[in-house]
Amino acid sequence: MKQKKFKLTISRKKSIAGILFISPWLLGFLGLFLRSIISSIQYSVCDVKITTNGLVLAYKGFANYLNAFIVDLHFVQYLTNQISSMLYYVPVILGFSLFMAVVMNAKFKGRTFVRAVFFLPVIAGSGIILSIMQGDAMSQSIISGARSSMLFKTTELQLILLQSGLRSDIVSFIMGMVSGIFNLSWKSGLQIILFIAGLQTVPQQLYESAHIEGATAWEAFWMITFPMITPILMVSLIYTIIDGFTDFSNNVMQYIQSFGQQLNFSYSSTLSWIYFIIVFVIIGIVYAVINKKIVYTVD
């Protein structure tokens, strides 16, 4: 009888296994991440002064949080602008990268080359290379005036179009398209690779049977590819939202950073916490709305 008491049911055993699987992450989350964000939250509710002994904190309550909404003129404005620009930024990036991934997933000559090219934005679009490229754009203009700089200045093309006699509003429309395509292809490197990896896991038998049943490629895409790829679409969606919001070049992040550079750590961490919690809530809403529509082949 006693032995039976200690015997674990299968579901209990599995839940313990699950916790064991996530235990490294859990340790890191509690030991490294949570400890760090707690002290970051501390900064936001305290006056932070830098002395020779290091940082000195003096509790002052949630005044900063109120100030961000009541006194601060710019923060709420930047925030709403950022959120509304995300409304078209995210679908455009996702649509473009899914389209490119489908195109590149087919077999054709030079596929290796094209895929290597589209990996370049992932390599060069992060970290120091990008900032050197942008910095060089600046130093170039110092050296030789309007020489074409690193980040695809389209002034030459604009001149050519204007001189060829096109109306200026049409030219500005075309220029907007061109620079938009440039930004698009440099922002969607990661999503394209994720989608290609996702497309690889769609079983080929599905396409074969659809072909025999007489489905066109268009139907096959919407009936097979799209549903099968929704789990990856979800990751890309969440990543695109986060990447757009936490990109250091956007207005809100720059505004937050500007306080950090003025050594006003208290207010900058207040703003960043408000911002991250808003982003988190947005992601929660998106996740809750879309997660039901995702097709997992099993459960």
Q: Which of residues 58-97 bind another protein (CB under 8 A)?
A: none
CB of 284 to another protein, least distance (A): 7
Position 176 contacts another protein (CB under 8 A): no
**Which residues inside 153-172 make contact with another protein, applying CB under 8 A?**
none
**Which residues inside 215-244 make contact with another protein, applying CB under 8 A?**
228, 231-232, 234-235, 238-239, 242
**Single residue of 92, 115, 224, 251 touching another protein by CB under 8 A:** 115
**Single residue of 49, 111, 167, 211 touching another protein by CB under 8 A:** 111
**Which residues inside 177-196 make contact with another protein, applying CB under 8 A?**
181-182, 185-186, 190, 193-194, 196
Q: Among residues 58 and 298, whose Cβ is nearest to another protein?
A: 298
CB of 60 to another protein, least distance (A): 19
Rounded to 5 degrees, φ, ψ at 46 are -130, 165
Position 117 contacts another protein (CB under 8 A): yes
Concatenated DSSP letters for 241-261? HHHHHH-TTSHHHHHHHHHHH
Whether residue 148 contacts residue 156, with contact meaning beta carbons closer than 8 Å, is answered with yes
Percent of the chain as helix, strand, coil, to the nearest 5: 75, 5, 20
d(CA 206, CA 220): 9
70-79 LR contacts (CB < 8 Å, sep 24+): 74/255, 75/252, 75/255, 75/271, 75/274, 78/251, 78/252, 78/255, 79/252, 79/275, 79/278
Position 289 contacts another protein (CB under 8 A): no
CB of 138 to another protein, least distance (A): 11
Q: Which of 133, 245, 233, 248 minimizes the C-alpha distance to 192?
A: 233
Distance of alpha carbon 216 from the chain centroid? 34
Q: Among residues 63 and 278, whose Cβ is nearest to another protein?
A: 278
- Interface with another protein by CB under 8 A: which range of 59-67, 73-81, 84-92, 278-286? 278-286
CB of 6 to another protein, least distance (A): 19
Produce one character per residue of 11-49: b if its CB has 16 or more CB atoms within 10 Å, e if not. eeeeeeeeeeeeeeeeeeeeeeeeeeeeeeeebbbbebe
**Single residue of 45, 94, 100, 274 touching another protein by CB under 8 A:** 100
**Single residue of 3, 112, 249, 261 touching another protein by CB under 8 A:** 112
| Size, binding site for another protein by CB under 8 A | 98
d(CA 157, CA 171): 9
**Which residues inside 11-50 make contact with another protein, applying CB under 8 A?**
11, 14-22, 24-33, 35-37, 39-40
Whether residue 94 contacts residue 191, with contact meaning beta carbons closer than 8 Å, is answered with yes
Element (H, E) at 51: strand 46-51
**Single residue of 86, 122, 174, 215 touching another protein by CB under 8 A:** 122
